[in-house]
Amino acid sequence: MKLKYHAAVSAVSSGILYAIFKSWGLSAALFITGVFTDLDHVFDYFLENGLDINKKKFFSFFYEEKHRKITLLLHGWEWLILLVIYAKLTDWNLWVTGALIGYALHIIPDYFYSKAPFRSYSLIGRWKNRFDSDVIFPRNRGYNPKA
């Protein structure tokens, strides 16, 4: 999903949860994981393009899926599971719970928006497919980069 939508979803969600729980920690953690999970795109971009920093090229590289390899180290159902376990272990600490909610609000819409197979959002699934973009994000899956 595009960054502007992640920012909007995260801002609205953190505002709603702040109104309910009055916790800056919960709201801040939600916003941070809701938006900054996409920082792993920077790693993938540099991996394939070197330090060729160009905002337009950067966004088209991902939105138009020009990558040949895709690691997406911060995107994974495995992280979601670990966050649920960690939140439970911390007795639903508000910072951890906020991070969990923000992460869920990031990765679940990413999954549906991309129309990719479920395994595409698994670290293990990508690793098993050698981070090959053509396998992880099949080009004939009905994804519309203009949406």
Place of tokens 């050698």: 130
Element housing 58 (H / E): helix 55-63
Q: Considering beta carbons, is residue 6 or 96 the nearer one to Zn ion?
A: 6
3-state secondary structure 34-53: HHHHHHHHHHHHHHHHCCCC
Note whether 44 binds Zn ion by CB under 5 A.
no
Q: Considering beta carbons, is residue 70 or 94 the nearer one to Zn ion?
A: 70
Q: Cα–Cα distance between 136 and 118 in angstroms, integer?
A: 10
Distance of closest approach, residue 19 Cβ to Zn ion, in angstroms: 26
Number of residues that bind Zn ion (CB under 5 A): 2
Residue list 83-142, contact with Zn ion (CB under 5 A): 110
The pattern of x and - marking residues 4 through 43 that bind Zn ion according to CB under 5 A reads ----------------------------------x-----
Cα distances (Å, whole numbers) of residue 123 to 8, 56, 76: 26, 27, 5
Q: Considering beta carbons, is residue 62 or 87 the nearer one to Zn ion?
A: 62
Chain positions contacting Zn ion, by CB under 5 A:
38, 110
